[in-house]
Amino acid sequence: ATQNINENYSDLEITLHLDCQSGYNLYIGERTHTINIDGTDYIVTSSSISTSGGSSITLGSISKRIYHNNDGTLDVWLSSYCDLKARIRGNYVSGFSGGSDTISLDKIPRMSTVSDNMIGSRYLNTPHTIHIDKQLSGNVTHTVWYVIRGDKGSSGWYYIAQNTSNLDLTFVPTDKHVDLQPNSSTIFMDIGIKTFKDGVQIGETTYNSGWYMKVPDEYSPTIDSIDILDVNPKSKVLGVYVQNHSKLKVNTKTTSKEGATIKNISVT
Q: Is 143 exposed, middle or buried (0-12, 13-18, 19+ CB in 10 A)?
A: middle
Q: Judge contact between 223 and 263, C-beta under 8 A.
A: no
Final residue before a domain boundary, out of 85, 104, 123: 104
**pLDDT number for residue 179:** 92
In a shared domain, residues 203 and 242:
no
Task: Tell me whether residue 265 is in a domain.
Answer: no
Indicate if 151 and 199 belong to the same structural domain.
yes
Instruction: Check whether residue 237 and residue 189 sit in a common domain.
Output: no
DSSP code string of 111-159: S-EEEEEEES--BTTS-EEEEEE----SSEEEEEEEEEEETTEE---EE
Task: Report which DSSP code applies to 69.
Answer: P
pLDDT at 25: 82
Residues 169 and 226 in one domain: no
Establish if 238 belongs to a structural domain.
yes
Residues 120 and 173 in one domain: yes
CATH of the domain at 82: 2.60.40
Q: 126-140 as b/e, with b when 16 or more CB fall inside 10 Å?
A: eebebebeebbeeeb
pLDDT in the model for residue 218:
81
Assigned domain for 240 exists: yes
Structural domain range at position 239: 220-255
Cα separation, 106 vs 66, whole angstroms: 13
Q: What is the pLDDT of residue 120?
A: 97
Q: Which of 104, 134, 159 is the last residue of a domain?
A: 104
Question: Tens digits of per-residue pLDDT, 12-37?
Answer: 999 999 888 887 788 889 999 999 99
* Residue 264 in domain: no
Confirm whether 260 is domain-assigned: no
Look up the pTM and report it: 0.65
In a domain, 266, yes or no: no
Give the CATH number, domain containing residue 121: 2.60.40.10
Is 174 inside any structural domain? Answer: yes
In this prediction, the residues of the chain whose per-residue pLDDT falls under 50 are none
How confident is the model at residue 168, as a pLDDT?
98
The pLDDT value recorded for residue 46 is 92
Residues 76 and 149 in one domain: no
Same domain, 7 and 92: yes
Helix (H, G, I), strand (E, B) or coil at 261: coil
Where does a domain end: 45, 75, 104?
104
Q: Do 214 and 117 sit in the same domain of this protein?
A: yes
Q: Say if 267 falls within a structural domain.
A: no
The CA distances from residue 241 to 76, 225, 230, 245, 267, in Å, are 89, 20, 8, 8, 16
Hey, how many other C-beta atoms are within 10 angstroms of the C-beta on 171?
Answer: 18
Count of domains forming the chain = 3
Same domain as 69, residue 11: yes
Shared domain check, 201 and 127 = yes
Asked if 163 and 193 sit in the same domain, the reply is yes
**Whether residue 98 sits in one domain with residue 41:** yes
Phi, psi dihedrals of residue 27, rounded to the nearest 5°: -135, 105
